[in-house]
């Protein structure tokens, strides 16, 4: 079959094989495809932001068998679908491709989402403490109350962290664990007693007890993976609680327009921690598409452990809802210390990356300081002499202070840069560390895009940031922290289009799924979100308040709010 121009008002396809996209084929081809398939769903009278290469805007969209059949004018799409299709009047609302968080610790967050106290977005410390107080009322005495992250004192009007006494007053009969990023932990006396923490050695290596004279205050000042080791000592939710928490967390993601995540593994993630998400996948209850990475579970045997774990995991193993996306983000623990990598660490990293290249694995790799990233780039350049690294979609994560020279080297190697909104929480600290002027250039998103580098968006949530993608999108655009300080200047800001591409087509590319999702082009999955406000025209400072009012994954409704709440029970895409 040969390609031809699409009829007026229609952008469609005639599928020859699953997943193949033909842009702008003839209306006759689309009609033929539609007649051969079951009636589907028409979203009309809206603003469909396709995020195709032309960033086309349409009025309507036809979904059949979980795929986008065509987009165009409302009248053309209604005619194309026929009388048996479900008609959804968007009322002028904006539709975007489902957002894909390109780096999030979602599987870990999901395990405890049903049992943790969530401080994400809470505006005052008094309200945060009230959440602990309410949890104490419904939980049994001596059961743990855990705040595992996703907050910073800059979000509170009081501009401070809680004290052990305040936490004890809120929950006098419960051990309480309150973690801030990876640098600070508050344990009330019952928690200290339950974990038998009395001396620095009890939180070592990397941890130190804060003291008031000789008496511990309950605060652990931490570096490295000290808090991860303490967290691992907490009682684990039951499998039933893990599955329930996972369902709730992914539904929370759906309410924010998220239809996919790239999970980086990370601290406190061991093989057993994947069983809840596997169960949801097996039972066909996943409501987000998950591309997951496996990190080395312990220092010293990283390569051997990854070789063992991946013997039955070829790249891409899985299906359209869940697949293995390669090793990451912690490959060699020596390269995760955010400081200088030792010669031994470099040698181990080189050995592991060469093995990954030989297996054609995609990777994600945590790397923070630009002053040492040349070590990583030297290793990759050497491997690229023997293996097609450019084809493997390797991603460098974080690297907020990246230099232009490093970006050029990353571009030449075909590396992806995964930029999360960590400085939304940490911009004030960055200004103190590097100075106000230097901070204005961090991160160099606009410079990277000018060089043609693929830049993917995400949050790195939930311990170090909010999982809200619209908060992340707002931060990309204005560089303003949760405390209201503009740390990054406008010169390095992406456009609204570029920021949305970071969270859709670029993250899909990172997940090796760009041929299936990330845009609303014909032939791709109907993963989409109908927004509460127009992302393209809303004031920048209001973008963080946007929510989804209707989210679909593969044409099936996974979240619906007013005025579409009645559609939830009806499903979608018949």
DSSP 8-class letter at 174: S
Give just the sign of the alpha carbon dihedral 51, 54, 59, 63.
negative
pLDDT tens for residues 277-308? 999 999 999 999 999 999 988 889 999 999 99
**What does the mean pLDDT of the chain come to?**
91
Going by pLDDT thresholds of 50, 70 and 90, the confidence category of residue 336 is low
Min mean pLDDT across 104-108, 265-269, 433-437 is at 265-269
Taking Cα atoms as reference points, which of 320, 255, 267 lies closest to residue 290? Answer: 320
In whole angstroms, give the CA distance from residue 471 to residue 463: 15
Residue 356 has pLDDT above 50, yes or no: yes
- When pLDDT is averaged across residues 44-73 and rounded to a whole number, the result is 98
Going by pLDDT thresholds of 50, 70 and 90, the confidence category of residue 205 is confident
Going by pLDDT thresholds of 50, 70 and 90, the confidence category of residue 421 is very high
pLDDT tens for residues 228-239? 889 999 999 999
Residue 10 has a pLDDT of 64
Residue 243 has a pLDDT of 97
Residue 477 has a pLDDT of 98
What CATH class does 1-98+520-574 carry?
A: mainly beta
Taking Cα atoms as reference points, which of 329, 302, 147 lies closest to residue 231? Answer: 147
pLDDT tens for residues 159-169? 999 999 999 99
- When pLDDT is averaged across residues 107-123 and rounded to a whole number, the result is 94
In whole angstroms, give the CA distance from residue 571 to residue 83: 18
Going by pLDDT thresholds of 50, 70 and 90, the confidence category of residue 9 is low
- When pLDDT is averaged across residues 441-461 and rounded to a whole number, the result is 97
The pTM of this model reads 0.92
In whole angstroms, give the CA distance from residue 247 to residue 499: 28
Residue 316 has pLDDT above 60, yes or no: yes
- When pLDDT is averaged across residues 142-165 and rounded to a whole number, the result is 94
In whole angstroms, give the CA distance from residue 122 to residue 125: 8
Residue 156 has a pLDDT of 95
Residue 570 has pLDDT above 70, yes or no: no
Percent pLDDT > 90 in the chain is: 82
Residue 82 has pLDDT above 70, yes or no: yes
Going by pLDDT thresholds of 50, 70 and 90, the confidence category of residue 268 is confident
Residue 448 has a pLDDT of 98
109's tokens: 């967050």
Domain boundaries of the chain, sorted by first residue: 1-98+520-574, 116-231
Residue 334 has a pLDDT of 77
Residue 359 has pLDDT above 50, yes or no: yes
DSSP 8-class letter at 163: P
- When pLDDT is averaged across residues 379-401 and rounded to a whole number, the result is 97
Measured from the Cβ of residue 394, the count of other Cβ atoms closer than 10 Å reads: 27
Dihedral, 79, 80, 85, 90 alpha carbons, nearest 10: -80
- When pLDDT is averaged across residues 369-376 and rounded to a whole number, the result is 94
- When pLDDT is averaged across residues 8-33 and rounded to a whole number, the result is 44
299's tokens: 């220092």
Q: Are 560 and 266 in contact (CB under 8 A)?
A: no
What is the CA 97 to chain-centroid distance, rounded?
15
Going by pLDDT thresholds of 50, 70 and 90, the confidence category of residue 23 is very low
Residue 24 has pLDDT above 80, yes or no: no
| Buried-exposed string 134-161: b where 16+ CB fall within 10 A, e elsewhere | ebbeebeeeebbbbbbbbbbbbbeeeeb
What CATH class does 116-231 carry?
A: alpha beta
pLDDT tens for residues 483-532? 999 999 999 999 999 999 999 999 999 999 999 999 999 999 999 999 99
37's tokens: 């398939």
In whole angstroms, give the CA distance from residue 245 to residue 548: 21
Residue 213 has pLDDT above 90, yes or no: yes
Residue 58 has a pLDDT of 98
């Amino acid at each position: 079959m040969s390609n031809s121009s699409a009829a007026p008002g229609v952008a469609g396809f005639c599928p020859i094989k699953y997943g193949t996209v033909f842009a702008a084929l003839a209306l006759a081809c689309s009609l033929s495809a539609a007649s051969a398939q079951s009636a589907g769903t028409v979203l009309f009278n809206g603003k469909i932001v396709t995020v195709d290469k032309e960033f086309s805007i349409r009025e309507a969209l036809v979904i059949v068998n979980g795929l986008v059949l065509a987009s165009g004018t409302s009248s053309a799409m209604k005619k194309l679908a026929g009388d048996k299709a479900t008609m959804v009047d968007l009322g002028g609302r904006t539709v975007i491709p489902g957002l894909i968080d390109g780096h999030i610790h979602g599987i870990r967050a999901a395990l405890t989402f049903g049992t943790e106290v969530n401080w994400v977005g809470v505006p005052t410390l008094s309200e945060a403490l009230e959440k602990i107080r309410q949890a104490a009322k419904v939980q049994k005495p001596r059961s743990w109350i855990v705040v595992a992250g996703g907050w910073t004192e800059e979000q509170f009007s009081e501009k401070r962290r809680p004290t052990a006494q305040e936490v004890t007053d809120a929950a006098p009969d419960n051990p309480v664990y309150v973690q801030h990023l990876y640098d600070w932990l508050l344990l009330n006396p019952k928690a200290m007693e339950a974990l038998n923490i009395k001396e620095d050695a009890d939180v070592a290596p990397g941890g130190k007890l804060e003291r008031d004279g000789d008496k511990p205050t309950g605060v652990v000042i931490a570096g490295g993976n000290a808090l991860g080791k303490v967290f691992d000592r907490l009682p684990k939710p039951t499998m039933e609680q893990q599955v329930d928490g996972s369902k709730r967390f992914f539904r929370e993601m759906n309410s924010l327009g998220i239809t996919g995540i790239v999970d980086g593994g990370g601290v406190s993630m061991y093989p057993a921690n994947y069983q809840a998400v596997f169960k949801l996948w097996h039972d066909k209850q996943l409501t987000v598409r998950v591309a997951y990475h496996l990190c080395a579970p312990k220092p010293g045997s990283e390569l051997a452990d990854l070789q063992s774990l991946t013997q039955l995991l070829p790249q891409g193993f899985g299906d359209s809802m869940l697949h293995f996306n390669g090793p990451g983000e912690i490959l060699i623990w020596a390269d995760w210390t955010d400081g200088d990598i030792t010669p031994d660490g470099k040698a181990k990293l080189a050995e592991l990356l060469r093995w990954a290249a030989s297996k054609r694995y995609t990777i994600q790799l945590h790397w923070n300081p630009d002053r040492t990233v040349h070590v990583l780039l030297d290793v990759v350049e050497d491997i690229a002499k023997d293996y097609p690294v450019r084809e493997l979609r390797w991603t460098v994560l974080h690297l907020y202070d990246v230099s232009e020279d490093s970006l050029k080297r990353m571009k030449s190697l075909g590396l992806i840069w995964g930029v999360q909104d960590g400085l939304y929480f940490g911009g004030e600290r960055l200004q103190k560390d590097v100075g106000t002027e230097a901070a204005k250039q961090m991160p160099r998103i606009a410079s990277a895009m000018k060089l043609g580098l693929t830049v993917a968006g995400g949050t790195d949530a939930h311990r170090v940031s909010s999982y809200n993608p619209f908060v992340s999108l707002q931060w990309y655009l204005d560089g303003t922290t949760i405390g209201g300080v503009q740390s990054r200047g406008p010169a390095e800001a992406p456009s609204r289009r570029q920021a949305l591409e970071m969270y859709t087509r670029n993250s899909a590319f990172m997940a090796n799924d760009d041929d299936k999702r990330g845009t609303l082009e014909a032939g791709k999955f109907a993963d989409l979100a109908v927004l509460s406000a127009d992302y393209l025209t809303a004031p920048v400072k209001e973008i963080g308040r946007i929510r989804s009012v209707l989210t679909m994954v593969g044409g099936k409704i996974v979240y619906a709010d007013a005025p579409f709440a009645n559609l939830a029970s009806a499903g979608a895409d018949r």
